[in-house]
Structure 1
Amino acid sequence: MGWQPSWGTAAASGNGTSGRAVVRDVLQPLGVASADTYFTECYRRYLVKTGASSRAAAMDRAYTPFATPRGLPPASLPRRPSDAALVRMALEEDCGDLLAQLRASGADVVVTLGQPAADVLADLLDVDRVALRRDPAYGRERRVRIADRTVPWLPLKHPGQRTSAGEEHHRQWADGLTR
């Protein structure tokens, strides 16, 4: 379709607010540089959340008024399903890729972000499910076996989960690392 100079400019935005929050709220407290980190996704396709402050609403507010007069196609990104459906889809479509990535990464620590990612990892490694709650067990290290190595696993909240109580609980976890 091609970008028209009359439309203005566009720039890559990196990983947005969630990516910045991972660096600030997870990697920095752990003392790990993002350059020394291997990132992967449990589900390889981009899915859009719905609701008033969601990406779907932002597309409706920003893209549609831009695209329609220019004859561009409407936005048609798939909607994000429930957590349970997302976990099921990730496991059904994985085909061993995540375990292969974990083995190849040589990671010294595995961090999952959000309940769906924790559920996928627990299923792939055949370990007990960890329920992410605001309780003393939050962020507690578990040991998991990946190939011939046993490494720590830290199941944490996803940075996109921005409730004030959840953020405060996560801050307490991070503060506990530096004591």
Structure 2
Amino acid sequence: MKYLVVSLALLILSGCSNIYTKPHEGVENAKLRLASIPSNNNFVHEPKAKSCIYGNGDAQITILGSKANLFRSLDRNGVPLYNSEISDSHQNEVYVPAGTEFSFQFNSVGFAGFSPGVYDPKYGAMYAWCRKIVTFTPEPNGNYEALFDFVELPSGKETCDVTLFEITKNNQGDYVKSESQDYNVVDRYCGS
């Protein structure tokens, strides 16, 4: 019986890891902290397309929010300037290949009518999704943070947005965070 329990636990835990929890072999790596401020659930995936949003995307990178600890433990790989004001379940650190363009897609789910987003009949009438794709080229050994948050539009409505930060050392040797000058955020859905 013990053998069965241990085997099942290993099977479950091994299914929870993905290619982003460890450095990628054969290429230079960068570190990326994925963070979300809203208290809902946010699923981060590889996008199916880089130019438009098509569903939830492909391979899952991480889950942020209340479901994060239910599905897997959160990873910390040493990205500097950890924000202790954001819940631990809303921050996860991953390794991404450096020197080549990399894209990821935030998929935030909320309740239709209570949070911004696009109604998706595939997931039922109660849910609205707010999705953004971020594309950038990480520098080797670079440290980054992508912060997902809701912002108010000039019309007064809310939408989700992502800001990408670079974390570098200043002349005094202290880490500083500044918005990256070279990234792209896509919010157009395929077919729209």
TM-score (norm 2): 0.23
Of Structure 1 and Structure 2, the greater strand share is in: 2
Q: Which has the higher helix share?
A: 1
